[in-house]
Amino acid sequence: MLRGVAQRARDGPVQPAGTTINAWEKLISSHNRPLFSRGYLTQISDPITSSKIKTKSNHWQTLQLDLDSMAAPQWPPAGSVALCALLLTLGYMLIQRAYPRPLHGIPYNRDAARRLAGDFPELAAFGKKGGSFRQWFLEQATRHNSAITQVFLSPFAKPAVIVSDYREVHDILSHRDGLDFKRGKKADAFAGTLPHTFPAMETVDPLFKSSRDLARDLMMPSVLNSVNAPRIHDVSMSLLELCRLKAGLACGKPFDVADDVNEFGFDAILSAALGLGPDGGDVNRQIQHITTHQDRAVSHKESIVVFSRAKKSAKLSALQVEEDSLWKAFLMPFPKLYHSINDFRPSVRRAKRTMRAHIASQIANNLEVPGKQPECALDYVMQRELRAAEKAGRAPVLDDPRIVNPVYGYLIAGHDTSSGTLLWLLRRMTAHPEYQSRVRACLRATYAEAWTEKRLPTAAELARQHSPWLDAALEETLRLDAPVVNILVVTKTDTTVLGHFLPKDTPVFLNLTGASLSRPSVPVDDTLRRESSSAHPAQRESWDAENPDIFKPERWLKHEDSGRLLFDASAGPALAFSAGNRGCYGKRLGLLELRIVATLLIWSFEFGQVPEELVSSETFESLVTAPKECLVRLTEVAMA
């Protein structure tokens, strides 16, 4: 009988007409006590069913367990509920942690602080419109009317601070490096490519000084003038020949020289660092290609002449892969980890093998000619090691990375910077024919003997004498179009900048152009500056009084009492080569290269104006910022 009751309970039997409620639905919906517990027996409204259950007490326990398991509500275990609550809490805290957390008192973009991605969407939109992300960094000072601002570049990351004031940036680079600031990610990025060069070392590293001293030795005037200048002059003459060929085929129409200048920059720095090798360089490859395929080398795209190109050399391709790896490492949160993974890529492995093989072949060739005069930086470094080994009574170690890395650093540090600056200079000369004429006239006066003899100045003449107007035009180009727009440092300890507290490990971008340099300055309360800044005041802190945003080379010129025109490098603020102990060690070599090639080009060609609608403002962003295109209209200048 009890089984019948249980069966009816499971099957949901139809109740008699007078039944007030289905007992089972009522009990299941109550959820207060297990079904058929002793207290609930009296609540069953069917008297017949109740009586039958009471008369069978010996089956009570079995029936109770059976129906309890059937109808009891299944609540999650208490531990599961607690775990879910914990995970939800942690997830909420994690999301909140990912949002920007502004530093107190430093201006920032309010909308960015409310976005998980911070300033990145705005930065990406700026880039899609053709702008440089580095230019966006420069604009923050004017946007907030503050020399110190902060931006939010990614979730979970600390705010990055931007300093846009010549005096403050100069003070940080010259007097606070190694004390309040370190290189951080920049050193880590270089360590993955050139671990034995000083850019990969912190200033307090015991090896920093010896590595830096070697680099400085390679910049001595004796090495520059006798070793580097002749090599750079030879490569510049090749570029001159290539331009002459293309100008003849273009017949007065504009053509792009960006790739030619880039290959010239590689040949020039390769010849100065390691020697070109038997193939003669990439510029010569283009000359041979144009000469051999004149009938198929020229095509037209609207009003522009387009020249087909020979394939890049394996060495140039390898260097560009290395430069690209270094550039991407700067953008990664963990540069060393990126390099350790990136080094497994086949293209990266091929690039490293190619450059190592070229260095090894140049070392072997030099050893075959004992006692020869140095012709490149590698020769100089080898002779230095040979003398040190002989003095110490040991065998020379010519493939030591501590010897080879600094020379290889020549290539990476000097390739894009020089070629990028030359492209900017050519664009400025094209856009300002009045200054182009002044520079050319000054060159003829400076190298009067060459002009009288109807020849080009020699490497020795160009290394020995400077032309004031050319130096001024170069300096003005670097001021307005700095190839390196800003550099990144990291706070080494809790510190202050312009009165604002910066905690340890805060990334700080130091603008090398922009406000107070190439744009009007923003107000700064001098009482907020550090003692080191007050102790070393600048002769001139900004160009505000002389229209800082226009191209005006004469701002760098002055006249002696005798009337002689001179270039004055201290006429005003400039940071194109950085400053302090970590300033660009290749500055002298870079300026020498630019003076030589610019002199030969401006001496030989008139750069005609290019229609404004053809000129692109797009830039190439890598280790440096350079124009993607450089259209020129060349007319050969006859020598009187």
Q: What is the pTM of this model?
A: 0.83
Q: Mean pLDDT across the stretch 577-590? A: 89
Burial class (CB within 10 angstroms; exposed 0-12, middle 13-18, buried 19+) of 368: exposed
pLDDT digits (tens, 9 = 90+) for 458-470: 999 999 999 999 9
| Band of residue 52 on the pLDDT scale cut at 50, 70, 90 | very low
pLDDT digits (tens, 9 = 90+) for 129-158: 877 888 999 999 999 999 999 999 989 889
How far CA 100 is from CA of 116, 119, 468, in Å, comes to 7, 10, 50
HSE-CB at 540 with a 13 A cutoff on CA atoms is 18
Given a cut of 80, whether residue 20 has pLDDT beyond it is: no
What the block records as the tokens of 547 is: 């229209």
pLDDT digits (tens, 9 = 90+) for 171-201: 999 999 989 999 888 899 998 888 888 888 8
Greater model confidence, 564 or 27: 564
Residue 212, H or E segment: helix 208-217
How far CA 236 is from CA of 233, 243, 417, in Å, comes to 5, 11, 16
Residue 471 identity (one-letter amino acid)? D
Length in residues, the chain: 640
Short-list 602, 590, 600, CA closest to 235: 600
Given a cut of 60, whether residue 19 has pLDDT beyond it is: no
pLDDT digits (tens, 9 = 90+) for 276-291: 877 789 999 999 999 9
Residue 229 identity (one-letter amino acid)? A
Given a cut of 60, whether residue 578 has pLDDT beyond it is: yes
Cα distance between residue 78 and residue 518, in whole Å: 66
Name which of 53-62, 89-98, 232-241, 560-569 the model is least confident about: 53-62
Cα distance between residue 217 and residue 199, in whole Å: 16
Q: Mean pLDDT across the stretch 290-304? A: 83
pLDDT digits (tens, 9 = 90+) for 150-172: 999 989 889 999 999 999 999 99
Structural domains of the chain, with CATH: 2-71 (no CATH), 107-191+485-554+568-575 (3.30.43.20), 215-484+576-636 (1.10.630.10)
Cα distance between residue 205 and residue 200, in whole Å: 10
Residue 476 identity (one-letter amino acid)? E
Cβ neighbour number for residue 387 with a 10 Å cutoff: 11
Short-list 177, 123, 131, CA closest to 152: 123
Q: Considering just the CA atoms, what is the radius of gyration of the chain in Å?
A: 37
φ, ψ dihedrals at 461, nearest 5°: -65, -40
Average pLDDT, the chain: 86
Cα distance between residue 392 and residue 382, in whole Å: 15
Greater model confidence, 280 or 75: 280
Q: Output helix, strand, coil percentages for the chain, rounded to the nearest 5.
A: 55, 10, 35
State residue 66's pLDDT score: 52
Greater model confidence, 508 or 59: 508
